[in-house]
Amino acid sequence: MPMLLALVALPQQAEYAVTVAPPSERRVDVVAQLRQLPPGELVVRMPRQYAFVALPGPRFSRVPQARAGGREIEIDRTDPYEWRLIKGDAREVELSYGIALTHRDVPEVAERDAYEHPYIEADHGMLTTGAVFALLDDPKQLRVRFSLPDAWPVFAPWHATAPGEFEPANRHALEDSIVAFGAWKSRTVEVGGARVETLFAPSELEFEPLAAPLIEDIARAELELFGVRPFEHFLFLFTPSNTRGFAGSAKQGALVLSVMHGLPASAAAPNIAHLCAHEFFHTWASSRYDAPDELRFLNEGFTDYFAHLVVAQTGAGGWEEFAESLARRVLTYEEAARSTRASLVGAGGEPFFTSREAYDQIYSGGLALAAWMDLALRAREPRTDLAAWLREFNNDARWERGGRTPTLDDFLALVEKRLGPAAATRTRSLVTSTEPVDFVRAWSELGCKVERTSAPAKAELRANLEGARIVDLDPQSLGARLGLRAGDELLEVNGVRAIDAATIHRAFATPLEGRVRLRWRRGAQELGVDEPLPVETKLRLDSAPWRS
């Protein structure tokens, strides 16, 4: 989701000089030399989203100025994201502007999406290229030169012509990537003919012993699965962030990753493996096409399925954990689909970005569909599977970034080609039904043994506390389901006065006669619940059909 300036004309060359100011100034200055431009007005646009959280407007420290033929030319700002450069017949324009590296100060970004946004600290920094570069529509040649404090090293997934100087392969490589500079710890290996470089920000060095070997194994397995090499050079960047848990985003040749601190290696390793497998898998399709909203279940859900599968296949996680993940995700899908009343196709548009339920439906429903298709393909032809099907789909020569994009009809056409008309009809029903799909039944029909049971939910708060105040909590936890939110101050838990974190967690785990009784304060309001411990559905399934 790049956020950048795009020049609509068809220029031949673009050369960028990027000066990173001293860290205390928190800004970069950019001078773009745009050459061999067509005559007439030049339109400058900035897309509204380059990360999951879209900012309300550009974060300029200095608004764009343009010069042509030694004179300043008029810039007509038509809306917050669009300008017209009144350049006449000039064939060259110098466009200059400054970007304030204050994106992570925005509350919504800090709470959810900081890891994707640029920043600078005393000894290092990171640029999300979509937030920095003014981009031409179809340049024949791209050059980028960096000037940095104290001669800091620069790390970018592009062809390097000299220290700090690069030639991105094309517009997409420049508009949607990551550049790091300064005191990052770098580890590089050659895998499958590609250079895989892992970078750890100074605050993230604790993850190096765990992550580095996992990344090498995962990259090797997935490059073999892709059947192509999407990029010659990949960057895995472990960046500081306030995001709880594990989060990441795949750009063109670069992956930015956020991992929660303080977890034991036994918990951190499989989660890091899954995160890296998921985001690396994204680089494949994103190098080929821009997935439309109607195929978001494929782009996210199928990717997550293969992330779980590759982690099990490489030994970074066990097959029992693989089965538990499938079981957990199908239950998440069922709950989300009942809430949204939308289909997998319908949940992939605007609701995906605004509704947690739609987000869960896409990831979990798409994963469940992928697991079903994998079993169906293996049953029809033992020498094929979903990986082979996806190679045929993703590597189709018709797709092109900025050009032809696959559609739902293309997806279903390949299902029909490999599984037959009846399977294509059923698949269409699975992705367009607004009623929750019974994936358990669909899996069972293909030989997967599934057991569904019901039992009282486990009484776990699953929240981080400061004293009696909730700092954050798992949105799928019992506490969240009972109405608790971050910022609430607990007063009483199951008859026990809320004193500190240890007392609260202990009391929450011991409901009174099967009931959960809570009192808490939210601002000036006092709230409470007194409810039976809810019944929770559980699935247990055998991983053998996928493992064989």
Taking residues 488-512, report their average pLDDT. 92
Report d(CA 20, CA 326) in Å as an integer. Answer: 46
The pLDDT confidence band at residue 69, using thresholds 50, 70 and 90, is confident
Are residue 149 and residue 222 in the same domain, yes or no? no
Question: Can you give the pLDDT at residue 108?
Answer: 86
Class of residue 514 by CB neighbours under 10 A (exposed 0-12, middle 13-18, buried 19+): exposed
Dihedral Cα 329, 330, 335, 336, nearest 10 deg: 70
Report d(CA 503, CA 454) in Å as an integer. Answer: 29
> 510 forms bridges with which residues in the sheet?
none
> Over the stretch 170-191, which tens digit does the pLDDT of each residue have?
989 999 999 999 999 999 999 9
Are residue 251 and residue 349 in the same domain, yes or no? no
Are residue 302 and residue 448 in the same domain, yes or no? yes
Question: Can you give the pLDDT at residue 288?
Answer: 92
Are residue 306 and residue 379 in the same domain, yes or no? yes
Q: Which of 274, 439, 295, 407 is nearest to 362 (CA)?
A: 295
Dihedral Cα 297, 300, 302, 308, nearest 10 deg: -140
Are residue 405 and residue 313 in the same domain, yes or no? yes
For 121-218, strand residue ranges (E) read 124-128, 134-136, 141-147, 154-155, 159-162, 165-167, 178-182, 185-191, 194-200
The boundaries of the domain holding residue 412 are: 289-453+539-547
Evaluate if residue 6 carries a pLDDT over 70.
no
* Lowest-pLDDT choice from 143-152, 465-474, 516-525: 465-474
For the entire predicted model, the pTM comes to 0.85
Question: Can you give the pLDDT at residue 9?
Answer: 43
Token code pair at residue 366: 């798409």
Q: Which of 86-90, 275-279, 312-316 has the highest mean pLDDT?
A: 275-279
Are residue 23 and residue 147 in the same domain, yes or no? yes
Question: Can you give the pLDDT at residue 113?
Answer: 86
Report d(CA 457, CA 7) in Å as an integer. Answer: 55
Are residue 305 and residue 264 in the same domain, yes or no? no
The pLDDT confidence band at residue 266, using thresholds 50, 70 and 90, is confident
The pLDDT confidence band at residue 11, using thresholds 50, 70 and 90, is low
Report d(CA 364, CA 375) in Å as an integer. Answer: 17
Q: Report how many domains make up the chain.
A: 4
Q: Any idea what the CATH number is for the domain that residue 138 is in?
A: 2.60.40.3650
> Over the stretch 422-431, which tens digit does the pLDDT of each residue have?
999 999 999 9
Among 283, 305, 328, give the residue marking a domain's end.
283
Q: Any idea what the CATH number is for the domain that residue 255 is in?
A: 1.10.390.10
Are residue 20 and residue 54 in the same domain, yes or no? yes
Q: How far is CA 369 from the centre of its chain?
A: 20
Taking residues 278-285, report their average pLDDT. 96
Taking residues 234-256, report their average pLDDT. 90
Question: Can you give the pLDDT at residue 139?
Answer: 82
- Tell which wins on pLDDT, 399 or 77: 399
φ/ψ (deg, to 5) at 364: -75, -40
Question: Can you give the pLDDT at residue 486?
Answer: 85
Report d(CA 248, CA 306) in Å as an integer. Answer: 16
Taking residues 392-414, report their average pLDDT. 94
Among 181, 197, 227, give the residue marking a domain's end.
181
Give the HSE-up count for residue 497: Cα atoms under 13 Å, Cβ half-sphere: 1
Among 283, 304, 326, give the residue marking a domain's end.
283
- Cβ neighbours of residue 88 under 8 Å, at least 6 residues apart? 39, 40, 68, 73
Are residue 140 and residue 8 in the same domain, yes or no? yes
Are residue 430 and residue 467 in the same domain, yes or no? no
Evaluate if residue 196 carries a pLDDT over 90.
yes
* Lowest-pLDDT choice from 67-76, 447-456, 494-503: 447-456
Are residue 136 and residue 114 in the same domain, yes or no? yes
Class of residue 74 by CB neighbours under 10 A (exposed 0-12, middle 13-18, buried 19+): exposed
Question: Can you give the pLDDT at residue 265?
Answer: 80
Q: Which of 373, 507, 511 is nearest to 448 (CA)?
A: 373
Q: Which of 176, 227, 191 is nearest to 3 (CA)?
A: 176
Report d(CA 109, CA 51) in Å as an integer. Answer: 10
- Tell which wins on pLDDT, 402 or 469: 469
Token code pair at residue 491: 């007063």
Name the average pLDDT for the chain: 90
Instruction: State the distance between the two ends of the chain, measured CA to CA, in whole angstroms.
Output: 37
Taking residues 336-358, report their average pLDDT. 93
The torsion region of residue 315 among left (phi > 0), alpha (psi -120 to 50) and beta comes to left
Q: Any idea what the CATH number is for the domain that residue 513 is in?
A: 2.30.42.10
Are residue 364 and residue 267 in the same domain, yes or no? no
Helices (H), 433-484: 439-445, 478-481
* Lowest-pLDDT choice from 80-84, 364-368, 501-505: 80-84
Evaluate if residue 270 carries a pLDDT over 50.
yes
